[in-house]
Every structure is written in C-alpha cells, then in structure tokens.
Structure 1
Amino acid sequence: MAVFTAVSQAEIELWLQDYDLGSITDFRGIASGIENSNFFLTTERDGVTHQYVLTIFERLTFEQLPFYLYFMQHLHAAGIAVPAPMQARDGAILRQLKGKPATIVTRLPGASDLTPGPLHCAQVGEMLARMHLAGVDYDRHQPNLRSLPWWEETVPQVLPFIDADKQALLQAELAHQQRFFGSADYAALPAGPCHCDLFRDNVLFQATADGGSRLGGFFDFYFAGVDKWLFDLAVCVNDWCIDLPTGRLDDVRMDAMLQAYAAVRPLGDAERRHWADMLRAAALRFWISRLWDFYLPRDAHMLQPHDPAHFERILRARINIPSVLHV
C-alpha cells in the first residue's frame, strides 16, 4: 500500500460529492505495501466521525476488481470481519479517480500485531476457516492471478538479476510445483475464494480489558482469487508461524493455527499428504513476487520494497520438512 498516484484533498473532496459520507476532516497516504495507492480518510457526518480507506488501483483493471469488492461485500454480509465497500449514490462500489479504478471501504478497528503468539495464530486460523466456508456460495469466479501461470511468466524476467545458485533453486522449485499442480491429488484439493495474502500486516487486533487481544478483522483482499484452501492456509503459516530471521517453522504457533482451522474445517487426507508441497508453493509465490518488485520496481512516492532473501530462506527451510501433516 504505497502511494503511486498522488491526489490532493481538493480532488478527493470533489470526487466524494457522489457519496453520502460527510465532509473530510483528515486525509493522508499510507506508506506500507507495494501494490496500490492507499489513503486513510476521516469524515464527519451529522456530528459523527467515520473512518475509511481509499484505494486507487495501479495494476488491477475495472474488469478484475468486481471480484474482490463483491467478495468483501459477501463476507461482510456473512458476518466475517472484513472492510465493507461503500456505495456511491448510484450504487457503484467502483469508480474512476485520476484515470484509474478507485474504491472506498470502511476502516476496521485495531492494529496489526507483528509479533504474534499462539493465541493470535489460533484466532486467525479459526476465522480463515470460517471465511473459506462463507465463500462457498459466492457466485463470482476469478483465479488467483499470482499462481502458476504468473510464476512461469515472471521467473524468466527475474533470473538475470540473481546468481547461479539462486537460479538453480528457483528453476528446480518451479519444476517441482509444475509437477504438483499437474497431479490428480492437486486437482482434487478443495478450493474456493481465498485471501491469498493474509500476512501479519493484513490482520487487525483490538486490545481487551484483561490485557489480551481480540481479532478485529482481515483486510487488503486485492490479491484474492479462487485457489486451493490449503494454499491460503500455507501462506498464513509461512508468515504467522515462523522465526523471522531463519524462516524456520515455530511448531507451537503452527499447531495453534492448524488446530483452530481444522476445528472449523477439517483437513482431508490429500491436504495432509501434500502439506509440505503447499508450504513450498506459498514460499515460491512470494519469493518470485519479491524478486520482481525488488529488481523491476515501479516509481512510487512512498515505496518500501521487501527483501527477497526472506522468502528464499523460507523456501529452503521448507524443502526438507516432513511431507505429511498430522492434524
């Protein structure tokens, strides 16, 4: 969530005339992230303060975006704590700003916890499973746009920037995943709409009176797509349940997340059998993405690219773990 497209408060005030959201009292860019231009927006209407997030989409198109926005709307209606897209007076939840697609969604309460413990992981696992089940009857379909076809397209673009050892690892793992994705077991894995990017900074927690924390919600659904539910779970584990310096799994946090998830949606035999393959797939996806963002960056006013070496370490750590999950 960097700022690639600069926009003034006057421009936003003019744009908001088609909404019934009140008058702007605060407006500022959000520095974190690397995909879209995002802004915190505070308004006042009838003496009540409201908080929103305005997003200008830099890569996603008008044709792709309804999947994400209506998915959020669908989950919100099902009682899953996610941002709700705001409708303009004509009912539209997607409009044009500075020549690009743009939307406004509610801002969830709380803050990200970047040092999660087992209780955080359990809450995320439980809600992730509920989100997967809530999406079963969502009637729009769009694949995960950062899955195997994108990996196959992007790997040749980043290979010239990395040394021979990394090239060998990247190509070998891509070949491994091509075999896995082509298998009958993979085809049979349960699937549906997934978040596909549920990192620590895309989840909010609220402090409780007893000094603990309560899950406030999931946000930033703009990498979502129909994929294997196991992939979504592997993405979470690879971020929430690891030792960050080494990329090694933290068994206590992982068990907390997996047990909470499985209590809502039990994992099947094929999912448990291919757990290591999916952890590797999730690590590969983000290593490729970070290589691409690092070596082929776009201009942005507040861009903070992530270090690709982090997911290289995670991938190397996953290659030698036991293949079968016991949950």
Structure 2
Amino acid sequence: MAVFTPVTNQQATDYLAQYALGDFVSLRGITAGIENTNFFLNTSQGEYVLTLFEVLNHEQLNFYIELMHTLASREVKVPMPQTRRDGTRIGTLNGKPAAIVDRLAGGYESDPGIQHCIIAGRTQAQAHLAARDFALYQPNLRGLPWWEETYPGIRPFLTDSQDRLFTASLEEQRQIQTGDDWKSMPAGACHCDLFRDNVLFDGTYDEPRMGGIIDFYFAGHDAWLFDVAVAVNDWCIERSTGALQPWLVQAWLQAYAQERPFTETEKKLWPIALRAAALRFWTSRLNDYFRPRPAQTLKPHDPTHFERILTLRVQQPVPPLP
C-alpha cells in the first residue's frame, strides 16, 4: 500500500465525480505495504479508501472486487466496493485501474490475544462458506506456479543453506499440491493474505469487535486449509522467533471449526499446509527485498522472518486440527 502513483486533489475530485458519494473533502496517502497505492478519501457523505492497482489489470480485478461485493452483501465484515454511476465498480485513474471501497471502523491489533483469534478465525470460516458458490474464478496468483517462476530470480541472493531449504520445500509442495489428497480438500475463493494487519478490530483489547477484513488483492481460488495456514503463521506465533503459540492456534482453529469442521484429509495435510504458507511468504519477501519496484514510500519486509518460520515448521511438530 505504498504510494507508487501520486494523485492530486483535483484528480481525486474528478474521479469522485464518477460516483454518487458526495463532494471531495480530503485525500491522504497510506504508506504501509508494498503492492498498491492507497489513499484515505473523505467526502461530504463519508469515509472511503481509494486504491490504484499497480500490478493487477482490470480483468483480474473483477474477481477481487466482485468477491468483496459478494461477501459484504452476505453480511461478512469486509469493505463494500462502491458502484459507479455507470453501474461498474472499477474505473481508471492516472492510467491505473482504481476502485473506492468503504473505510471500516477500527484498527489492526499488533499483538492479538485469544479473543482476537477467536473472532478472526470465526470470520474466516464464515467468509469461506459465504463465497463457496462464488461464480468467478481467479487462481491464487502467488501460488505454487509463481513460487517456481520466482525462484530463479531470487536464487543468486540465497546462501547455500537457504537454497537447500528453499529447493527442498519447493519440491515437497510440488509433490503434495499435484496429488489427489491436496486437490480433494475443500477449496474456493479465499483471502490468501489474512495477516493481522489485514483485519480491523473495534472495541477494546479485552472486548474486541470485528471491524472487518481488508485488502483482498491477493485473494484467489485455493485450498481453504492453505488460507487458514497463512493466518495461523502470522496470528498465532511468538513474533520474534516464529514459534507457534499453542493456545492461540487452538483458539483460532476451534473457532473456525465451529463454523466449518475440518475434514480428515485436511487434518493429515495440516503440517504441510503450514509449510506451504511459510514458503509462499518467504518467496514473496525475498522477491520484494532483493528485486523491489520503485516507489515514493517503500518498506519491504524482512525475508528472514519467514525463513525462520519455515525452518520451524520443518523441524517442529505443530498443534493438530480439532
């Protein structure tokens, strides 16, 4: 969410005229993140987020925007994409695809506790179920084929030990994800990037309320178990080491399973799904760190964080699915 593409107040005013959202009041860039350009947009009618998409094209965006619209329409807490006067929900601003969505209440919790994990785990399951008949299809663009395509570009930056870990993990995922068990697991449109900074909470720390899930622009069709693993690898860890915190893992998984029980195949593949999720984000962080795109405000994440997590998921047992 770095500011890759500047937008002036006048440009925002002109773009806003394509919507029935009131008059322009203010625009403020959001500096966190690394993929899209985001602004807080205030109008006389309310508060919104304006996004310019730096990588995704209009065709790809249709999946993400319509998925969010479907979830919001089915009362899952996600931002509602706003519809333009011409009936579409994606426009063009400064040569980039652009969209406006509701700005949700609350903020993200940097140190989530049990109640946060319960609420977020339950909402994740509700989102999976709400989108199970979603008609549009978009593969997870950061899935196994992308890891394979990206490896040659990041290989020169890896030490020998890092390369051994990466290639062994990649080969494991090739074998598992092309197998019948992985393909048989429940799957559908899912977030694929459900980190703690992509969930907003209202209320207090001890009594949080779900504000909503944001930033769906890595969403895609994948095994729901992979989506759960992505979340658990971020929410349910000791931050400095990456070690799983069993009480947080249990809180997340039990809350999820109350909405959608896990299958026996999912229980068997759970450790491998956690390794897949770790490899996915180690790959992307290596790529972002060593092969960055120019931006006005760019803060690439440290790739060693997910190297540590992947190493632990290979070496240590993980709490089982309920």
Q: Deviations over 1:180-237 (max 9, x none)?
A: 11221111111011100000100000015x9521111101000000100000000000
The CA deviation at 1:124 is 0.6
* Percent pairwise identity: 50
Give the one of 297, 301, 307 matched to 1:302. 297
Superposed counterparts of 1:271-286, under 5 Å: 271-286=266-281
The CA deviation at 1:17 is 1.4
**Which residue type is aligned with residue 229 of structure 2?**
A
Give the match for residue 178 of structure 2: 182
- 8 Å CA contact retained: 2:246, 2:319: no
Give the one of 68, 71, 86 matched to 2:67. 71
SS at match of 1:271: helix
SS at match of 2:164: helix
Give the match for residue 34 of structure 1: 34
The CA deviation at 1:309 is 0.3
TM-score normalised according to structure 2 size:
0.98
SS at match of 1:63: helix
**Which residue type is aligned with residue 272 of structure 1?**
K
**Which residue type is aligned with residue 188 of structure 1?**
S
The CA deviation at 1:325 is 2.0
Give the match for residue 252 of structure 1: 247
Q: For residues 137 and 100 of structure 2, what CA distance do their matches in structure 1 show?
A: 22
The CA deviation at 1:88 is 1.1
- 8 Å CA contact retained: 2:262, 2:321: no
SS at match of 2:58: coil
Moved over 6 A (4+): none
The CA deviation at 1:321 is 3.0
Give the match for residue 102 of structure 2: 106
Give the one of 221, 228, 249 matched to 1:233. 228
| Alignment gaps of 5+ in structure 1 | none
Give the match for residue 81 of structure 2: 85
SS at match of 2:44: strand
- 8 Å CA contact retained: 2:188, 2:221: yes
Give the one of 237, 260, 264 matched to 1:242. 237
Q: For residues 326 and 290 of structure 1, what CA distance do their matches in structure 2 show?
A: 28
1:10 aligns with 2:10: yes
The CA deviation at 1:299 is 0.8
Over aligned residue pairs, what C-alpha RMSD do you find?
A: 1.2
| Alignment gaps of 5+ in structure 2 | none
CA gap of 1:204–1:319, structure 2 versus 1, over 3 A, is: same
Q: For residues 139 and 85 of structure 1, what CA distance do their matches in structure 2 show?
A: 18
The CA deviation at 1:324 is 7.7
CA gap of 1:141–1:230, structure 2 versus 1, over 3 A, is: same
1:169 aligns with 2:165: yes
Q: For residues 138 and 326 of structure 1, what CA distance do their matches in structure 2 show?
A: 26
Give the match for residue 260 of structure 2: 265
- 8 Å CA contact retained: 1:275, 1:324: no
Superposed counterparts of 1:101-250, under 5 Å: 101-208=97-204, 212-250=207-245
- 8 Å CA contact retained: 2:30, 2:40: yes
Q: For residues 76 and 177 of structure 2, what CA distance do their matches in structure 1 show?
A: 30
- 8 Å CA contact retained: 2:190, 2:220: yes
Q: For residues 146 and 22 of structure 2, what CA distance do their matches in structure 1 show?
A: 41
- Report how many aligned residue pairs link the two structures: 322
Q: Deviations over 1:44-97 (max 9, x none)?
A: 14xxxx110000000001110000000000000101010011111111100111
**Which residue type is aligned with residue 88 of structure 1?**
R
